[in-house]
Amino acid sequence: MSAPTSSLRGELRLDEPLARYTSWRVGGPARRFYRPADATDLAAFLRTLAPEEPLLWLGLGSNILVNDEGFAGTVIHTLGRLGTLERLRDQGLRAECGVSCARAARFAARAGLAGIEFLAGIPGTLGGALAMNAGAHGGETWTRVRKVRTLNRLGQIKERTPEDYHIAYRQVEGPSEEWFLEVELELEPGNPSACQERIRDFLERRDRTQPIGLPSCGSVFRNPPGDYAARLIEAAGLKGEREGGAQVSTRHANFIINTGEASARDITRLIERVGATVERHSGVKLRPEVHFIGGETA
Ligand SMILES: Cc1cc2nc3c(=O)[nH]c(=O)nc-3n(C[C@H](O)[C@H](O)[C@H](O)COP(=O)(O)OP(=O)(O)OC[C@H]3O[C@@H](n4cnc5c(N)ncnc54)[C@H](O)[C@@H]3O)c2cc1C
């Protein structure tokens, strides 16, 4: 790694394989890959980019499918860099976007702040959780957001509230060309051991129902209104089906596993086949939850 110019303090890599940074362990290289030193450094770096440079903000890579050709632009890798996390004087929590969901949940629980225990088992960053409106066990990220701070490609920081966004199930639309730099969450007073117990319970439930530890991106499809994607996929007889090294999990039908040698192409083909088979079988058109990067779509 090297610093891109003398005034910048982050690390720049060229042609960095993104398979290293995605939970599916697939994806070709990013033309440029930047790990900022901090928010000020990131703002300065963004100002050096051409206005048309494609940008991808990447957290833990647990909800993206990067195609085998990779990303012809600049990736901003937030994990472990934009990592400030602090309790505010009231029942608030302020966190930068590169803080992992698990760390935020445990920190809040220890501080006696309840309301984000559901984040403990989501293997993403808070930036990714904001972009996806990540949720589990009846909780959703945006129900706890007081305000966010965003950064645009001119390096300008803006303060925004939930009213500035259209927020739905696993879907967030807001001002374009702005990315989440940090969030302020509104929590409730809670008993630390009760919060920690809830976290343990949520993690155990995951262990029982999900193929944890195998490369996947969690649920591939959103649940359609009033039903479950996993139920529809299983009913269509797709559990265990394969395309190359990609396989529909035999444990949780809405998960697609990389069994070892899968390419992004294998995964894309399997997603397409699952979608088409479910539609033929039940008439329901499933919509992917995962974000496709690099031109391929399902
Ligand atoms: C085993 C497993 C279980 C999972 N369980 C759940 C679950 O229970 N509930 C759930 O909701 N999800 C779940 N997921 C999916 C995933 O963990 C979440 O969607 C998570 O919020 C993604 O965060 P990330 O940091 O990995 O985002 P990434 O995959 O890195 O990025 C996802 C999207 O967010 C954008 N993004 C990332 N950071 C920022 C930022 N700072 N500003 C703007 N955009 C940004 C990216 O550009 C991309 O479009 C699971 C995944 C796995 C592998």
Q: How far is it, in rounded angstroms, from Cα 130 to Cα 96?
A: 11
DSSP class of residue 133 equals T
| Ligand 1 pocket check for 134: Cβ under 6 Å | yes
Nearest CA to 94 out of 80, 108, 79 is that of: 108
At 173 the pLDDT is 97
User: pLDDT tens digits for 5-57?
Assistant: 668 999 999 999 999 999 999 999 999 999 999 999 999 999 999 999 999 99
| Ligand 1 pocket check for 258: Cβ under 6 Å | no
Nearest CA to 71 out of 54, 57, 52 is that of: 54
Q: How far is it, in rounded angstroms, from Cα 44 to Cα 166?
A: 29
Nearest CA to 47 out of 59, 58, 34 is that of: 34
Q: How far is it, in rounded angstroms, from Cα 37 to Cα 136?
A: 31
Residue 97 CA to ligand 1 center (angstroms) comes to 11
**CA distances in angstroms from 21 to 51, 129, 268, 280, listed in the order given:** 25, 16, 18, 35
**pTM, full prediction:** 0.95
At 297 the pLDDT is 35
Residue 286 CA to ligand 1 center (angstroms) comes to 19
- In the three-class reduction of DSSP (H, G, I as helix; E, B as strand; rest coil), residue 134 is classed as coil
At 135 the pLDDT is 95
User: pLDDT tens digits for 116-137?
Assistant: 999 999 999 999 999 999 999 9
Give the pair of three-digit tokens for residue 54: 């494609």
Q: How far is it, in rounded angstroms, from Cα 87 to Cα 273?
A: 46
Q: How far is it, in rounded angstroms, from Cα 102 to Cα 104?
A: 6
At 210 the pLDDT is 82
At 298 the pLDDT is 33
Nearest CA to 121 out of 208, 62, 199 is that of: 199
DSSP string of 77-99, one letter each residue: E-TTTS--EEE-SSSEEEEETTS
| Ligand 1 pocket check for 206: Cβ under 6 Å | no
| Residue of 117, 122, 157 to mutate, ligand 1, most atoms within 8 A of C-beta | 122
At 296 the pLDDT is 34
The per-residue pLDDT of the chain, averaged, comes to 95
| Ligand 1 pocket check for 131: Cβ under 6 Å | yes
Q: Which residues of the chain have pLDDT under 50?
A: 296-298
